[in-house]
Chains A and B, each alone.
Chain A
Amino acid sequence: MHEVSIIQSLIEQIEGHMEEKGFHKVHRVTLDIGEMSGVVPDALEFAFDVCCQRTRIEGAKLTINYIPVRARCSSCNGEFTVKGSVFACSHCGRSDVEVLSGFELNLKEMEVD
């Protein structure tokens, strides 16, 4: 449900970059969205289509990179993909882990003119 607020904030950010960097057309917007970011990619796409209407970004395509949750174990140093929300190390079972990815909510890049 908060996907709309996130897209509204994205549009403001893009418009800011347009002003700042002096481009007039956005062809594509690429986002990095982590699996644990709490947003639904489909809902973001829907919100993007709706919110971009009658803005300078209207017509831009949205690409979403959905990033899996990866973590590194602080005990054995092994890296693993977190599956089913289980953050324990898949190698040694310890739960003291450092999360490496999966919480992203980023504007990665834009294709512009």
Chain B
Amino acid sequence: MASRVIRIEENLLKKNEAAASENRKLLTQQKILSLNLLSSPGSGKTTLVVKTIEGLRSELRLAVIEGDLQTRFDAEKVEAAGAPVIQVNTGNTCHLDAQAINRCLARLPLDSLDVLLIENVGNLVCPAAFDLGEHMKVVILSVTEGEDKPLKYPPIFRAAEVVVVSKVDLLPHVDFDLTRCRRFLKEVAPAATVFKLSCKSGEGLREWLSWIKEQASKLGTPGDAA
């Protein structure tokens, strides 16, 4: 029999996409704002997660999914800040996927949550391809990394609804050009909301926390932990 060509036109991440829509549906139904935090290693994701819990825990009920290749170090820091956390150790895998989040959601008290923070594996490439079913992707870029990252890693910045420029207390000590950074972000991700903050000095944290509250209330979250 002669060979024949069959057209398929199917997403290679079909399974991931299916799990992601299931997650998104569940999170939306439960009115849980979910943010996928993405960045290179060492940008300050965990510190931002801890500050976010500390700043919002009296008003909102937060939980965290921590993705790392190995260790529970980050999970311990988050637990100490007072939020339930599930650590996902991906082994040698460079990203979280929607199926892993699906398994985590089954273990979280979804009826008593307002916000879910998902700290992805530190990596500016691979996690961009995997929709987790989050409501928004937040890319964190620290000023020690250089302002050219948005143009060097366009897929992840293009996918971001929010960009957080972190560690701005270090601006006087590093050669990070904030104006160029904003220009690059405008080119790659013109629609992204940009925050600039420092977990160390507290600068810009209030704006970040108010934004989360606003997004959570848009989803219809009750807004208090009672």
**Chain A residues within CB distance 8 Å of chain B:** 1-2, 5-6, 9-10, 12-13, 17, 21, 23, 25, 27, 31, 36-39, 84-88, 95-96, 103, 105-113
Given pairs A9-B13, A13-B14, A111-B4, 18 additional interface contacts (CB within 8 A): A2-B94, A2-B125, A2-B129, A5-B95, A6-B129, A23-B6, A25-B3, A85-B188, A86-B187, A87-B188, A88-B190, A95-B186, A95-B191, A103-B155, A105-B11, A108-B9, A109-B8, A111-B5
Within 8 Å by CB of B187, from A9, A13, A25, A88, lies A88
Whether the Cβ atoms of A85 and B187 lie closer than 8 Å is yes
Whether the Cβ atoms of A87 and B12 lie closer than 8 Å is no
Whether the Cβ atoms of B190 and A87 lie closer than 8 Å is yes
User: A87 contacts which chain B residues (CB < 8 A)?
Assistant: 158, 187-190
Count, A-B residue pairs, CB within 8 A: 104
- 21 chain-A/chain-B pairs, Cβ below 8 angstroms: A2-B125, A2-B130, A9-B12, A9-B13, A13-B10, A27-B3, A31-B12, A38-B125, A84-B151, A85-B150, A85-B151, A86-B187, A95-B191, A107-B8, A108-B8, A109-B6, A110-B5, A110-B6, A112-B5, A113-B2, A113-B3
B154 proximal to A (CB < 8 A) = yes
B126 proximal to A (CB < 8 A) = yes
Name B1-26 residues within 8 Å CB distance of A. Answer: 1-16
Q: DSSP majority for the A interface?
A: mixed
Query: How many residues of chain B get a CB closer than 8 Å to chain A's CBs?
Result: 38
**Chain B residues within CB distance 8 Å of chain A:** 1-16, 93-95, 97, 123, 125-126, 128-130, 150-151, 154-156, 158, 186-191
Q: DSSP majority for the B interface?
A: mixed
Minimum CB–CB distance for B180 against chain A, Å: 14
Q: CA–CA, A106 to B11, complex, Å?
A: 4
Closest residue of chain A to B8 (Cβ to Cβ) is A107
Whether the Cβ atoms of B7 and A109 lie closer than 8 Å is yes
Minimum CB–CB distance for B7 against chain A, Å: 5
User: B7 contacts which chain A residues (CB < 8 A)?
Assistant: 108-109
